[in-house]
Amino acid sequence: MSPSEQDPAGVPWQRVFDQASAAMAILDLQGRYLHVNEAMCRLLGYRREELEGRDYRDVTHPDDIDPEGPTVSSEPLEKRYIRSDGSVIWALVARSYIRDADGRAIYSLSQIQDITQRREAELLWQRSFANAPIGMAVLDLKGTWTAVNDTLCGMLGYTRDEMLSMSFTDITYEEDEKQGMAALTDLVEGKVDTVSVEKRYRHKDGHPIWMLIRATTVPGADGAPAYVVSQYEDIGEQRLVDAHLAHLALHDPLTGLANRALLADRLDHGLQQLARGNGVLAVVLADLDQLKPVNDRYGHASGDELLIATARELQLAVRAGDTVARIGGDEFVVVSLLPDRAAAEALRRRVEDHLNTDVVVHGVTIRLCASVGCTTTSDPSIAPDALLHAADRDMYVSKRRRRAVRGDGTR
């Protein structure tokens, strides 16, 4: 017997029930549909007479049948229904009891919402997250991981449980922590929606891993950031490649010294420093006197070793912050910001001492000889080429003087 037949005054509520836009059904305590509305029929694709009197288990996906029957819970239930055409939908079901005057449960009321699109979107996200070829994680607004995929765990060497017990700061190198926290703060405060950061994480084994991290916020119901989704790529190998290419672009491949491009930059930087305070910029230029004879007598491999020895001696003669460059076959330049011209002259003497000494090349002792010129300036507006030209002129004065002392025309 239907509820309306037992309750003559039920016509008004039945009209509201039938015309409700939400799918609704009244069931007996065994789980048979006693009354379904039009929205329920549209949801499942059945006519009313096909559903009323039928057990709800007949249209429930086998994996989602609750063996204890249509019990009422305070929390809505997510389950799958099978429509008349065989397709499956996900639904959110809220159940409540209809009680008699004595408070006894006599029927149950189900209110059903189609959540198929939401569940499919969730499944797509879950599978994309879990199977992504890059590391992925969800973090709270304090930087604690709340979900991580297997790829990220594998990259960092931690289990999922270990990761979920930590904040990203726990495995960030101290030198990189500031930029990571700054990026998180910008996201949480809504200054940006997305950030990209390159930083180092410490692998569980202890070695560093360079990561490219792209993070974005997901807003909550109030529109404010609710959590952060991050993607992680191991860029350690690429950083090594990039660093190697950058080094090749700015350094002499034989000696490892700065090349002309880097020398030009360091000269510009030195002149800018002059504009901010006292001191002089010293440019020392050295030209080897014996490279050709060594090449002719011992071969070019020995000549190369002589150039490498020259670079080594120059680096011993200068301070850590000075620039040493090779700008030609046998020409070298030192750039140094010094307090005065006396300090520049002392630098020149040290370079001369180091470049006029005996060195061992391929087991042979060779006399390293060089002519050294020097110029200084306190004028930040002078052209870098003018400085190099002045040092070159002074170097040739030194070379002529050395020739006169030797009494020959040896270069």
Cα–Cα distance between 89 and 253 in angstroms, integer? 66
CA nearest 197: which of 188, 187, 207? 187
Joined tokens for residue 406:
């030797």
Catalytic residue among 176, 252, 287, 330: 330
Cα–Cα distance between 99 and 107 in angstroms, integer? 7
Cα–Cα distance between 140 and 149 in angstroms, integer? 16
Burial of 335 (0-12, 13-18, 19+ CB in 10 A): buried
Q: Is 207 left (phi over 0), alpha (psi -120 to 50) or beta?
A: beta
Does the active-site annotation cover 330? yes
Complete DSSP assignment for 258-293: B-HHHHHHHHHHHHHHHTTSS-EEEEEEEEESSHHH
CA nearest 23: which of 72, 91, 83? 91
Joined tokens for residue 404:
């006169």
Residue 14 · residue 20 · CB < 8 Å? no
> Which residues have a Cβ under 8 Å from the Cβ of 69 and sit 6 or more positions away?
29, 30, 31
Element (H, E) at 73: none
Cα–Cα distance between 14 and 4 in angstroms, integer? 7
Cα–Cα distance between 205 and 208 in angstroms, integer? 9
Cα–Cα distance between 70 and 72 in angstroms, integer? 7
Cα–Cα distance between 50 and 38 in angstroms, integer? 12
Residue 93 · residue 70 · CB < 8 Å? no
Residue 12 · residue 27 · CB < 8 Å? no
What positions carry a catalytic annotation? Answer: 330
